[in-house]
Amino acid sequence: MTPRTNTFWRTLLLLFCGIVALWLVAPSLVVIPLSFTDRPSFNFPPAGWSTQWYTNFFTDPSWMYALQASLRVGALVTVVATACGTAAAVAFSRTRFFGDQGIRALLLSPMVAPVIVVAIGLYAMFLRLNLLGTTLGFVVAHSVLALPFVIIPVSASLQGFDRRLEDAAAICGAGRWTVFRTVTLPIVAPGVMSGALFAFATSFDEVVLSLFIQSPYLQTLPVRMYSSVTRDTDPTIAAAATLILALTTGLTIIASIYAIRRNRVS
C-alpha cells in the first residue's frame, strides 16, 4: 500500500538502508576483537589473541568497584525516579491547577538542558555539602536526569485511562489504596515498566555529571572507562565494553521479540 515506486527505487532504498544499518551497528563491534588482543595496545586488527583482559576486568578492584557502584546507583535511581515520576504523572493526569503546565515543563526540563551546565553547578554544590563521590550524591543527581524519562511514558499510558473505572471501584467499596493497587496500577504498569527501564539506562549510561561528582573512592563504570581512554591504552576497557554491548544487545532483542509477540496477540 505504499506510494507506487518501481522495483528500482525500492531496491535502491533497501540498499541505502543496508549501508546505514552497517554504519549504525558495525562500529561498536570493533570492541569485540580488540578485547581479545594479546598485547596492551589498541592496534586494530590485533596480531595475536588472549583472554587476559577479561581476567583483568574481573580481578582488578578498580573495575569491579566501578561495576558494583554502577549497579548499586542504577538500582537506587530506578526506585527513586520511578516512584517520584509515577506520582507526578498521576498528579498531572488527575487535576488541572494554576501553573500545572509550568510545573510540568520544569520537571521535564532536565531532559533538554545541557548536562555540562548542570554538572558544574552541582559540582560546586556537592563540594560545599561534602557529597562528592557518595552514593547519595550519585543517586539524586542521576534521578533528576531520569525523571523526565519516567514521567513521559507513564503520562502516555495514563492518557487513555478511563477514570470512571476508579470511581466504579470506589462505589463498590474499595478504599483509596485498594483502588490504586487493583485498578490504577495494572493499567499504568507498562508505562511504569518502560519508565523504570529508561531510568536504569539513564543512570547506567551517564558520564558527564558523573565525571564531576565522582571521587577516587567512588566511580561508576562509564567514568572508569572515560578515565581509562584518556589516561592509558589498556584493552581492559575493550573487555568491559564487549560485556556491556553483549548485555544491552541481548536485552534489546529479547524486549523487541516480546513486544512483537504481544502486538500480535492483541
Partner 1 sequence: MTVVDVLSGRDTARQTPAETANTKRRRRGAIGLLSPSLILVLGVFVAPLAIMLWRAFTDPEVGFGNFTWYLTDAVQHDVLIRTFTTALIVTVVCLVVGYPFAYAMVAFGPKVRAVLTLLILVPFWTSLMVRTFAWVILLQDNGPVHSVFKFVGLEQVRLIRTNLGVVIGMSQILLPFMVLPLYAVMVSIDRRLVMASASLGARPLTSFRRIWVPLSMPGVGAGCLMVFISSLGFYVTPALLGSPNNSLISQQIYVQVNSLLQWGKGGAMGVVLLILTFAVLAVLMLALRRAAREEQHE
Q: Report the distance separating Cα 205 and Cα 216, nearest Å.
A: 19
Answer for which of 2, 7, 130, 266 binds partner 1 (CB under 8 A) is: 2
Please choose, out of 48-56, 58-66, 183-191, 238-246, the segment that lies near partner 1 by the rule CB under 8 A. Answer: 238-246
Instruction: State yes or no: residue 36 binds partner 1 (CB under 8 A).
Output: no
Q: How far is CA 29 from CA 25, 142, 145, in A?
A: 7, 28, 28
* Footprint on residues 39-78 left by partner 1 (CB under 8 A): 42-45
* C-beta of 218 vs 221, nearer to partner 1: 221
* C-beta of 59 vs 263, nearer to partner 1: 263
Among 189, 221, 194, 184, which residue's Cα sits nearest to residue 206? 221
Q: How far is CA 201 from CA 31, 143, 247, in A?
A: 20, 11, 12
Instruction: State yes or no: residue 231 binds partner 1 (CB under 8 A).
Output: no
Q: How far is CA 258 from CA 195, 202, 253, 255, 261, in A?
A: 17, 22, 9, 5, 5
* Footprint on residues 121-160 left by partner 1 (CB under 8 A): 121-125, 140-141, 143-144, 147, 151-152, 155-156, 158-159
Report, in Å, the least distance between residue 45 CB and partner 1: 8
Report, in Å, the least distance between residue 52 CB and partner 1: 18
* Footprint on residues 71-110 left by partner 1 (CB under 8 A): 80, 83-85, 87-88, 90-97, 100-101, 103-110
* Contact between residue 78 and residue 199 where contact means Cβ atoms under 8 Å apart: yes
Please choose, out of 51-59, 60-68, 188-196, 234-242, the segment that lies near partner 1 by the rule CB under 8 A. Answer: 234-242
Q: What is the 3-state secondary structure (H, E, C) of 229-262?
A: HHHCCCCHHHHHHHHHHHHHHHHHHHHHHHHHHH
* Footprint on residues 201-220 left by partner 1 (CB under 8 A): 201, 204-205, 207-208, 212
* C-beta of 110 vs 133, nearer to partner 1: 110
- Which residue's C-alpha cell is 541505502? 16
